[in-house]
Amino acid sequence: GAGVSQSPSNKVTEKGKDVELRCDPISGHTALYWYRQSLGQGLEFLIYFQGNSAPDKSGLPSDRFSAERTGGSVSTLTIQRTQQEDSAVYLCASSLARGGEKLFFGSGTQLSVL
Amino acid sequence: AQTVTQSQPEMSVQEAETVTLSCTYDTSESNYYLFWYKQPPSGQMILVIRQEAYKQQNATENRFSVNFQKAAKSFSLKISDSQLGDTAMYFCAFMRESGNTPLVFGKGTRLSVIA
């Protein structure tokens, strides 16, 4: 596709349920990033992929959060046993595998945990 | 660890005027990249401007320019001839030179352009 695609755009779930958020990066971009943005706040780094491997998982807030990437393309961020504090916009970005390359962002998934 | 500080949570400017958004950062590295991203109310993050730390010349993109002071670790964004469409959150961001590493963002400055 022409840009980074994220789905769903909105997700409402009940506390304790698991959710999966999907990111489809720009074709040919080997680097993929997940960020979280709480209401009115900056972007909190979660995890970064280079190809299918994740050299930096330092931002994952707890073991309820996990992510995978298959075929060097689509990535899925999974949140287990969701809590109300997980409510946020989850942004995905991709870039070419060169230092300093700009990131292209998706429109995000608005997650609301009731 | 690198940190990025934006000391102005909110700013406003009259249409057609000039405004400067501040950003400072902390790093021990000598080569790195700095960015300004814009997030309008629609939510889509868009790159505004990019600066390579080893370049002394300040980056410019049409009405947007930066004042990069490497010794002071300062990277301010100047918007000239402000337009209503410039209303957005502006985030300053830092990236290390070595490989693909995450962008580290500041908390953002909410800019309102007033007609």
pLDDT tens-digit profile, chain A (114 residues): 579 999 999 999 999 999 999 999 999 998 999 999 988 778 999 999 988 888 888 889 999 999 999 888 999 999 999 999 999 999 999 998 767 788 999 999 999 999
Chain A interface residues (partner B, CB cutoff 8 A): 31, 33, 35, 41-43, 45, 48, 50, 56, 59, 89, 91, 93, 95, 97-103, 105, 107-108
Task: Give contacts of B105 with chain A, Cβ < 8 Å.
Answer: 35, 42-43, 45
pLDDT digits (tens, 9 = 90+) for B97-109: 876 578 899 999 9
Give the nearest chain B residue to A44 (CA atoms).
B105
Question: How many interchain CB pairs under 8 A, A with B?
Answer: 60
Distance CA A89, CA B39 (A): 13
Give the nearest chain A residue to B34 (CA atoms).
A100
Nearest CA to B41 out of B100, B107, B91, B85 is that of B85
Cβ B77 vs Cβ B13: under 8 Å: no
Nearest CA to B108 out of B62, B48, B30 is that of B48
Q: Kindly state the greatest CA–CA separation across chain A.
A: 40
B105/A43 CB distance under 8 A = yes
Q: What is the pLDDT of residue A98?
A: 66
Give the nearest chain B residue to A48 (CA atoms).
B102
